[in-house]
Structure 1
């Protein structure tokens, strides 16, 4: 019987209707224990006769077993794995323990889950129902949430049922429907259906005590109906529905209660496992009979399940400690073979009554197996429990620091910090203390500041510089780069000095990045080693993702923008090919900047949008901020940029480099719109700030232009000496000529403008900026024909590149000449009409990739890719896929 819940059922019905119409959606149903979540999703499943229903459930006993929940849901569809892209299929097989393989990126398994669900929805809509989702193991939950957040144009509905507990459920960005207590009239109807013979006083007391909780109403009504003596005494409830189950359990024979404890402690639901364990304790299948008659458990073939999760909880919580120990020991003995090695290890740990090195070693092996499957949260849990069972302090410290590293990798910074701090107090071993500091440093980047990260990483590196130089270099790389983000020049200097002293072994692959970091910031001598790192990475002599990303940044710092961008694009392709999804937001940051600097404004938007989407979905808050700064710097939508800026600039003290990039973007919007004074204020803060010697040196020519336009020629030369030194070292001299033209007070300006245009080469955006200034100069000298030619070319270029405000400024200059130019059909670039996501899909489709191949690269479903193309075709005026290559090559 289902009473009430009209609004909630209506919302679920809408979700299913959307899925049937090809629109994905996700719903989180929240509520207290017994409020009716399971009943609601059971009803939903029963009503979805035209859909493929995939059910899952979180099991408390399985929370430390990586991907156990996901495997439970998807193993019936294992025959579909061969249809997945190879990397994704291998990741799922590895996660499920079906085949050996390299450690998969933990987010790649989410992408594989997304693709598999999309594949299952090809013949009919899919409904995924996950009950008790708060008890899912973290690896499974991450995968399902990643898939749910990236579903779009697929006929798939996902519903998570979540109990209010102290265990958090990350529902940010998902729609939440809360199940509240039944209204009194609805509660009375429910009681009447289950216990029609109750007297009015008892019924009213029941309604008061149960507080509209359906499970409490049903269980208490049934209990009262079978215990007439209780009608005149206190009701068997102390405000919690669990009390009813405790009373029912108390009436069972001792053997039955202990056998139920075996069921509660076991996570397999396998009747054979339960009975084998029970046999060692002196019980058999007949002892389950009373529990089945009392409707506490359900036997279904070879499985035994509790009728409600609360019965499992009460059974386990009510048992004496010595009984739990005995049961876990029996289950450890019943789970033999490699397939149950992890469960066996955890049961042995639960049965331990004190330190036991044998069990600790077994749990450590379980941690390593979990690591090979990509279950970082399970790795952390196994190492921590192994540490608690360790008999030697050094072994305990080593396992604790492994747990700290895994907790950090799993996105649990609080646990990582706690464990790292504990490890430092357990040992004097430098390697362990240094690794603990490294974990604390990386947490500090997110929690405190990049400067705090740099200081801790530098401190840790000092401990091991002589004994473990390669690890020290990794930590010093973190220190230099974090100090760079913070504009902490003293920390950069100290880290570089220590790098000079580190002696790497012959043939170390870290040598190129070390040489570049040592040279960082000292022009002109820095350019050769920094560009050498770019060359080494392009030649695949640098394979580590961190080092390739640094190489990309080094290329941008030395104005080798095209090489840097090409390297970063190949690095992104490598990350996709390897399924290293977690690296993509870090790669997209310099890639978007590189495309901006090359004038590929739409490409920059697409890279930033892809990085932002992934970073948001996988909880990389700092990368969200960094990529948002690039979005502010983007020139396609000034109003959106201005709306994003306040959130970014609030963190300017902690992250000055990112904030300066956003401020530079605001200045460019103001400069394009003719607000030179405001632009100058922004650019002065950028060019005088702590990030002024980094990429932000590139803002100096804009500062000079704003100063001249604002009538502050005295300020225009302020920052040019530093820029000229850098530009001369990097051969990036076109902008020097542009600045000299701006500051010339005679006809030598023309020579400088023409020199700049020659030096710009194929940098069409930079050339258009110079043509705009040159055209304005020509107009002021009444050289109308020449001015018109330069301004028209500038306007067309800005329009083609997707810089509408600069195009509008060129248009205004043409109007000042008396022109009223009319738009020609070929002036408007059709790619400007696409969203960044559509542009990314169209670009890949133009290379000949199929929808399925594009989906694997962008971590979307194939159907969503098809949806983007369906929307893009009419916008860009094509009807066939083969036309895309020609369109992309033209534009």
Structure 2
């Protein structure tokens, strides 16, 4: 039974308990799945060899006494002759087998119960019990109350309130959200995410609606290429069900319901006599509270609109337009009341679209622009509005943008490409097979200081330049920003400084950023929140932006600008990496990747991959680090994205330092920025600077280390994290107790647990080399514990190895191993596999693996590569892995 149903385990269990004998009445609204549950019960009874008798009520037979009983018992007509004469004659007359008057109902009911008991095991199924003729309904109720342990069972279903049979009731409710999502995914796997959300919200767990609502959409609407209608159209069974209820309402009630449905919930003082709504309230369609009217469920609203004739809908929209003083609502009402082209209405809709956009409602702005284009009499206006709709659509979902641009060109073939069209085209290029240079040319060639869309185009150009990460790309951008009069808007000015080159930010830039961060709690535009967050991320101020970003993600899950949601997830994820919340960072990155795939945003995968690569590097997952960075480097090389290249090298530098391979780390760190200078237009130079200083110092490149520490010192005032990094770099190139102590005392250092643990590790290593073992153990123990909390296994192993060299085995050490664990660990340290170790010790490879699983935490290590040093307490200090043995090693 469960195999054919989703989310109905509880209901199926309740039915299964009845099947040996007894009765149960299923109740619930139309489409909730009562009949499907009855089908499942019938299948189960048939597979166990039982007899299944089925019948259902219908209005056409409601006046025929025992018509329902005839359906149910007709397969047993041959068995009626075996009853005693009184019961036989009564039942034959009721079933129409003999002419003559029907016997008393009690006799017919008793005869039916006897017949069913003799036929056991038997399952009697009655669907739509509320439509059964009264005589049959009385017999069904009589039988249901007397089946007991007879081996006969009865299941009935009704949408009527109460229990006319007097037996147990199972109320079939809506599917839970997960089950509803699974049902939609099963039947419509390619349904676009915005459409899926609308279907789930409208259906509210009604299985019939979950299947019929998507089916009623066009293929373009299901794919996301076309806006969804409001309300959603109904399927045939839902329309028939609600249509029957609406047909019973008086015409004034239906007219008023249509106004309510088209206008949505709200005060209806203008709508006429609310007493006209009482029949709809009694029918369970709406609730009336004062002058506020609400539909009990979205399906009822959809039915009222879908079943109204088109002429009545347009007339209702005209009424609403006349009485609504809200400009945006009035524009929409007029648009829906208008059949042919109308420039006045199109102009009002464009004003509404720009108001939507100022509030951050990209989806609403897009829908208004497309409708305005439809109503535009002139081809030039239609083309311009479609191009603008394409640029807005690109922030919502890339699917359909290409089609919109094609429609814009077709509407006015002689028109020169517009700035909005260039913005949309550049995004298509970047997310397709094009490269940064092609997108850059598109935007630069389209720039026009007189065009109101110039600022939007410059924001797009800013993103392209940042992705490219090359100096030559920025010159046209900065020149165009400088030409803006009376000057660039604050958000663009922020991007031009703190996103382009945060290492050279001025106090004025930081003051502007802090002011904009302070206003984020009131900022309605998710794109602006994400843009401020990006500048905050590069200057280590994301902690003050997190709640606004989480709001963007929460609200974005209900629809809207997918780009803003993904960028918010990028900011939160990378911030989580920097602040030590690695598990959260990975979860957010996975959520962002899913949105990128659903909406076609390929370029936004890479900042998410950057965060994942950093976590993999910190955890010592060498395979994942190399796989992720290899993909990043390949894509960046093909598309000219230097920033993605730098991101990959930064992650690889962290991974190499964790493994103790300073030479490899230096090679990667200098790919982010050359030694002695924080590369211009390379924000990652701020994050990777400490990697370069540490690896240079460890490989004997003192001059490079000193020069880079000095460069880092010049930006120390940008943020507490950079102050911590600068102090750490100073102590690394010229170590002393005072310098390390000063670095540990930097305010706010605890907000960056990985950076702080690296400082403690460096301090502990220096103290241990000076034979100050007691303070060395204090710093190294704190570093090891911090790395272990983060899950930074190779770094924790480095700290534990230093602890052993300082005369302690850490939290457990080799002394805590059992003899067999030590023997297995020693063999594993030589490079033998689990299978080879098992063959030597006459153990299974699984047993060997189990022992090693317990050995690693005892030794404070995270990989087999660290076993040799963990077991050799007298070995050379600082040796972390065989990989580093032939290269420059960390001290």
CA contact (8 A) 1:367 1:378 kept: no
Of 190, 197, 207, the residue aligned with 1:143 is: 197
CA distance in 1, matches of 2:607, 2:580: 20
Q: Deviations over 1:414-472 (max 9, x none)?
A: 224424555674436xxx82222222233333223455444434444x31x2453xx42
1:758 maps to which residue? 745
1:517 maps to which residue? 496
Are residues 418 and 651 of structure 1, via their aligned partners in 2, closer, same or farther at CA, if it must alter by over 3 Å?
Answer: same
2:631 maps to which residue? 647
Determine if the alignment matches structure 1 residue 573 to structure 2 residue 627: no
Are residues 738 and 525 of structure 1, via their aligned partners in 2, closer, same or farther at CA, if it must alter by over 3 Å?
Answer: closer
Determine if the alignment matches structure 1 residue 444 to structure 2 residue 425: no
2:726 maps to which residue? 736
Does 634-643 or 687-696 show the bigger shift? 687-696
Are residues 383 and 554 of structure 1, via their aligned partners in 2, closer, same or farther at CA, if it must alter by over 3 Å?
Answer: closer
- SS of 1:650's equivalent? helix
1:414 maps to which residue? 402
Report how far residue 483 of structure 1 moved: 0.6
1:789 maps to which residue? 778
Q: Deviations over 1:756-787 (max 9, x none)?
A: 22336533432221111121122222222221
Structure 2: tracts of 5 or more residues without a match:
15-32, 43-171, 225-235, 248-307, 321-331, 814-891
Of 623, 632, 639, the residue aligned with 2:604 is: 623
1:699 maps to which residue? 688
CA distance in 2, matches of 1:382, 1:368: 7
1:500 maps to which residue? 482
Report how far residue 811 of structure 1 moved: 0.9
- SS of 1:357's equivalent? coil
CA distance in 2, matches of 1:268, 1:482: 53
Report how far residue 531 of structure 1 moved: 1.1
Larger CA Rg, structure 1 vs 2: 2
2:507 maps to which residue? 528
CA distance in 2, matches of 1:343, 1:597: 49
CA distance in 2, matches of 1:494, 1:372: 31
Report how far residue 15 of structure 1 moved: 8.0
Of 450, 472, 482, the residue aligned with 2:464 is: 482
Are residues 750 and 812 of structure 1, via their aligned partners in 2, closer, same or farther at CA, if it must alter by over 3 Å?
Answer: same
Of 754, 764, 769, the residue aligned with 2:758 is: 769
CA distance in 2, matches of 1:678, 1:441: 37
Q: Deviations over 1:91-128 (max 9, x none)?
A: xxxxxxxxxxxxxxxxxxxxxxxxxxx99346997698
Determine if the alignment matches structure 1 residue 427 to structure 2 residue 481: no
Determine if the alignment matches structure 1 residue 47 to structure 2 residue 68: no
Note the 1:284-303 alignment, pairs <5 A. none
Are residues 17 and 663 of structure 1, via their aligned partners in 2, closer, same or farther at CA, if it must alter by over 3 Å?
Answer: farther
Determine if the alignment matches structure 1 residue 537 to structure 2 residue 526: no
CA distance in 1, matches of 2:537, 2:240: 53
CA contact (8 A) 1:127 1:157 kept: no
Are residues 660 and 12 of structure 1, via their aligned partners in 2, closer, same or farther at CA, if it must alter by over 3 Å?
Answer: farther
CA contact (8 A) 2:767 2:775 kept: yes
CA distance in 2, matches of 1:119, 1:717: 70
CA distance in 2, matches of 1:345, 1:157: 32
Are residues 770 and 625 of structure 1, via their aligned partners in 2, closer, same or farther at CA, if it must alter by over 3 Å?
Answer: same
Q: Deviations over 1:526-548 (max 9, x none)?
A: 23232123221233188343333
CA distance in 2, matches of 1:128, 1:379: 31
CA distance in 1, matches of 2:576, 2:185: 45
Determine if the alignment matches structure 1 residue 338 to structure 2 residue 316: yes
1:401 maps to which residue? 387
CA distance in 2, matches of 1:418, 1:690: 41
CA contact (8 A) 2:369 2:386 kept: yes
Q: Deviations over 1:585-609 (max 9, x none)?
A: 2112223333433444455445434
- SS of 2:665's equivalent? helix
- SS of 2:485's equivalent? coil
Report how far residue 678 of structure 1 moved: 2.9
Note the 1:813-824 alignment, pairs <5 A. 813-822=802-811
Structure 1: tracts of 5 or more residues without a match:
1-8, 23-40, 51-117, 173-262, 275-329, 350-355, 825-891
CA distance in 2, matches of 1:478, 1:781: 55
Q: Deviations over 1:504-549 (max 9, x none)?
A: 48xx9x3354266257656776232321232212331883433333
Report how far residue 699 of structure 1 moved: 0.6
CA distance in 2, matches of 1:729, 1:140: 40
CA contact (8 A) 1:548 1:571 kept: yes
2:254 maps to which residue? none
Of 660, 663, 687, the residue aligned with 1:677 is: 663
CA contact (8 A) 2:384 2:408 kept: no
CA contact (8 A) 1:130 1:159 kept: yes
Are residues 386 and 124 of structure 1, via their aligned partners in 2, closer, same or farther at CA, if it must alter by over 3 Å?
Answer: closer
Are residues 371 and 676 of structure 1, via their aligned partners in 2, closer, same or farther at CA, if it must alter by over 3 Å?
Answer: same
1:663 maps to which residue? 649
2:789 maps to which residue? 800
Note the 1:134-173 alignment, pairs <5 A. 141-143=195-197
Q: Deviations over 1:484-506 (max 9, x none)?
A: 1211322323212211221148x
Are residues 668 and 14 of structure 1, via their aligned partners in 2, closer, same or farther at CA, if it must alter by over 3 Å?
Answer: same
CA contact (8 A) 1:454 1:478 kept: no
- SS of 1:499's equivalent? helix
- SS of 2:603's equivalent? helix
TM-score, normalised by the number of residues in structure 1: 0.52
Are residues 400 and 592 of structure 1, via their aligned partners in 2, closer, same or farther at CA, if it must alter by over 3 Å?
Answer: closer
CA distance in 2, matches of 1:370, 1:760: 45
2:673 maps to which residue? 687
- SS of 2:635's equivalent? coil
CA contact (8 A) 1:438 1:475 kept: yes
Q: Deviations over 1:850-873 (max 9, x none)?
A: xxxxxxxxxxxxxxxxxxxxxxxx
Of 780, 783, 806, the residue aligned with 2:769 is: 780
Note the 1:247-396 alignment, pairs <5 A. 333=311, 336-338=314-316, 357-358=341-342, 391-396=377-382
Note the 1:217-256 alignment, pairs <5 A. none
The CA RMSD measured in Å over matched residues stands at: 5.6
CA contact (8 A) 1:760 1:766 kept: no
CA contact (8 A) 2:773 2:807 kept: no
1:587 maps to which residue? 568
CA contact (8 A) 1:565 1:591 kept: no
2:174 maps to which residue? 120
CA distance in 2, matches of 1:124, 1:683: 45
- SS of 2:810's equivalent? coil
CA distance in 2, matches of 1:524, 1:125: 50
CA contact (8 A) 1:555 1:564 kept: yes
CA distance in 1, matches of 2:177, 2:185: 25
Q: Deviations over 1:347-370 (max 9, x none)?
A: 997xxxxxx634996899699799
- SS of 2:671's equivalent? helix
Q: Deviations over 1:633-661 (max 9, x none)?
A: 12564424444333333212333323422
CA distance in 1, matches of 2:611, 2:346: 48
CA distance in 1, matches of 2:514, 2:485: 23
Ranked by relative contact order (alpha carbons within 8 Å, sequence separation 6 or more), the top structure is 1
CA distance in 2, matches of 1:798, 1:496: 42
Report how far residue 19 of structure 1 moved: 10
CA contact (8 A) 2:666 2:692 kept: yes
CA contact (8 A) 2:716 2:726 kept: yes
CA distance in 2, matches of 1:572, 1:612: 17
CA distance in 2, matches of 1:126, 1:610: 20
Report how far residue 749 of structure 1 moved: 4.1
- SS of 1:622's equivalent? coil
